[in-house]
Amino acid sequence: MGQNKARDISAFSLGIVLIGCLIQTGGYIKGDALVFPSVWEILKAFIRLLTTGRTYTLIWTTLRHLIMSMAISTLIGISIGLAQGMSDFVRNLFKPLTIMLRSIPMIVLIVIIMVVAKYKYVPVIAPSLVLIPVISEATCEGARRIDGELVDVYRMNSNFNFSILMHVYLPLMAGYLKQAYINAVGMGIKLTVSTEYLVQTRNSLGKAVHSSSYFNEYQDIYAYALVMILLIILVSELPMWLIRKANQVSQSNSAEYCACACRQTNRNNRLCKEQKSFY
């Protein structure tokens, strides 16, 4: 286990070095140090951004847009996906809409939303519409993979309700929903920043990238890219880590409870034997 983890960390570190080499190679081929600054310049810009308070204001604005769009797309996507997984008619009914949302270019979608909605809502609405098919298709696939006999056992006692959803469907679809969440977070941050860039949302990462490109500060653009990568890792991995820790604590408590129950049972059996021998 330890060797595999060390190997994974080494491979990840080598991947980071590879990215730096590619940037340096691009600068040598292009012959333009402005567009392809040195790795050292990028790292200095990255450290400068991390030590600046304004950077965290930009991160919070983008993160707020991401959380809102994820909440909307998750609620709608799971609802549509469950309906599609339970009914072939509903799946065929929503299939053209799903294909359209997955296929329409992002720039076209943003322009349409900019016409029909206020600018401050565009960084929330646009990513939501793109992420809904990702979550709904994963939910639909997870619902269709559930063993029908298992669901029938629960339906013998009650019809489909909130309790059945929380204790039967969602736990059995956890693997599909987890992968959909990881994909949606990475895609959502890119969509949110792209939308902020086009809409010029104040105090956002997208606006900061636009300003850096306007003033030809390309080292800051690469540094903001590193910030976004860290943000994606944090938002996608931190909840999963907390869930794993919670499961470990729950399993530990369950094991301790079982051990205490076994000790109590053995104590009771021993007392019964002593009482029988006494009489």
Torsion of CA 220, 225, 227, 230, to 10 degrees: -160
Asked, for residue 71, whether it belongs to a domain, the answer is: yes
Q: Please report which confidence band the pLDDT of residue 254 belongs to, taking 50, 70 and 90 as the band edges.
A: very low
Model confidence at 269: pLDDT above 60: no
Q: Please report which confidence band the pLDDT of residue 112 belongs to, taking 50, 70 and 90 as the band edges.
A: confident
- The number of distinct structural domains making up the chain is 1
- The DSSP line for 206-235 is HHHHHHHHHTT-HHHHHHHHHHHHHHHHHH
Asked, for residue 41, whether it belongs to a domain, the answer is: no
Domain of 123? 56-218
Q: Which helix (H) or strand (E) holds 98?
A: helix 88-103
Asked, for residue 103, whether it belongs to a domain, the answer is: yes
Asked, for residue 48, whether it belongs to a domain, the answer is: no
d(CA 177, CA 140): 10
Percent of the chain with pLDDT over 90: 10
Asked, for residue 149, whether it belongs to a domain, the answer is: yes
Alpha carbon 55 to chain centroid, angstroms: 22
Model confidence at 202: pLDDT above 70: yes
Q: Residue range 79-102: average pLDDT?
A: 86
Asked, for residue 79, whether it belongs to a domain, the answer is: yes
CATH of the domain at 118: 1.10.3720.10
d(CA 260, CA 222): 56
pLDDT at residue 212, rounded to an integer: 87
In degrees and rounded to multiples of 5, residue 189 shows phi and psi of -65, -40
Model confidence at 249: pLDDT above 80: no
pLDDT at residue 65, rounded to an integer: 92
**220 or 27, higher pLDDT:** 220
Asked, for residue 46, whether it belongs to a domain, the answer is: no
Asked, for residue 266, whether it belongs to a domain, the answer is: no
**177 or 20, higher pLDDT:** 177
Model confidence at 60: pLDDT above 90: yes
Q: Which amino acid is at 53?
A: G
